[in-house]
Structure 1
């Protein structure tokens, strides 16, 4: 089938992009509000933008209400966050943190996620996350404020935590990281099984 995007409804375009660009890594982003509330939310439009300097990129999809999510509001106010990588052990708790809570409620508490102090930023980290990137806000790039539009957020990486058993000979052990990917709809992919192909 061929789809002409100029005649598609917003949700049709969303489902075709969300369901085809898969699997996507998940940025489980923790922030702290100016009032001291610890926020935690997952974003699957996420990747590396640059390695030198180290910059991460995630996209916040515009809500139908047009109101920015707590993550972006907190980032704009404080300039700091932590990108926590999700493994299969954390999958269900991560999913719980996608619930719509009042801004005065903490997703850490709601989903019973254990937090710990970060090294260089104020927002708390997910203690059991195997890899964490402590970041400062670099740039916010609005693409569209229409429903299902997007805002691109660039994050400067200041500090990286890798669980000791995952780091060997200067590399993160890919067969042990157990990271989770987002598929379309309510589906996720697991990476416990992978194959290695050497580049030609």
Structure 2
């Protein structure tokens, strides 16, 4: 089957891309929407894009009303965010946090999640996540007709649960199976890692 992308509506394009570009990591982004009031939302248009500076990027659409989402609003105002890698056990609260809430209502409270202090960073982190990146806004860029907002986040601090770290004298190695990241597929589908394998890269 060959598909002419220009003949598809945006919703059809989204449906096609999110079912074929799989699995995708999920950025579970915590921002502050008022003193001690935290927004938490998942984004699966997400990846690492640079090592120097260390940059992550995620893409944010609009609310059904056409308004900007709270994540973009909060990051614009504060310049700070914590990007988590959620494990598969958190699939339900991750999904629940995608709901559109009134500005100021906290997904952390709604899902009864526990926050922990993040050493070396201003915002807290979700306690049950094995990896958290404390980030400062590097740049925002709007693209497309809707448009989408690309958020470029510079990593300032990283939390890693010692239980997912393999011991190695040369470098830090994360055990992907212990990390057990929640992987995004199309529609309401998710996946988990079943196994890993290694292939040596050419010199």
Shared fold, TM over 0.5: yes
TM-score by length of 1: 0.93
- TM normalised by structure 2 equals 0.91
Match of 1:25 in 2: 25
1:190 aligns with 2:188: no
Does structure 1 residue 131 correspond to structure 2 residue 131? yes
Are 1:99 and 2:99 an aligned pair? yes
Question: Matches of 1:97 and 1:28 in 2, distance apart?
Answer: 9
CA–CA separation in structure 2 for the residues paired with 1:185 and 1:131? 25
Secondary structure, aligned partner of 2:150: strand
Q: Is the 8 A contact 1:83 1:133 kept in 2?
A: yes
| Distance in 2, Cα, partners of 1:145 & 1:37 | 32
Query: Where does residue 177 of structure 2 map in the other structure?
Result: 175
**CA 1:68/1:120 → structure 2, altered by over 3 Å: closer, same or farther?**
farther
- Conserved 8 A contact 2:45-2:58: yes
Q: Could you say if the C-alpha distance between residues 115 and 145 of structure 1 is closer, same or farther in structure 2, counting changes exceeding 3 Å?
A: farther
Spell out structure 1 runs of 4+ moving beyond 3 A: none
Q: Secondary structure at the match of 1:12?
A: helix
Q: Which runs of 5+ in 1 are unaligned?
A: none
Count of residues in Structure 1 that have an aligned counterpart in Structure 2 = 198
Structure 1 counterpart of 2:39: 39
Query: What are the Cα deviations for residues 139-196 of structure 1, in whole angstroms up to 9, with x where unaligned?
Result: 00110251xx421110000000111122222211223211111001000010142233
Moved more, 118-127 or 161-170: 118-127
Root mean square deviation of aligned Cα: 1.5
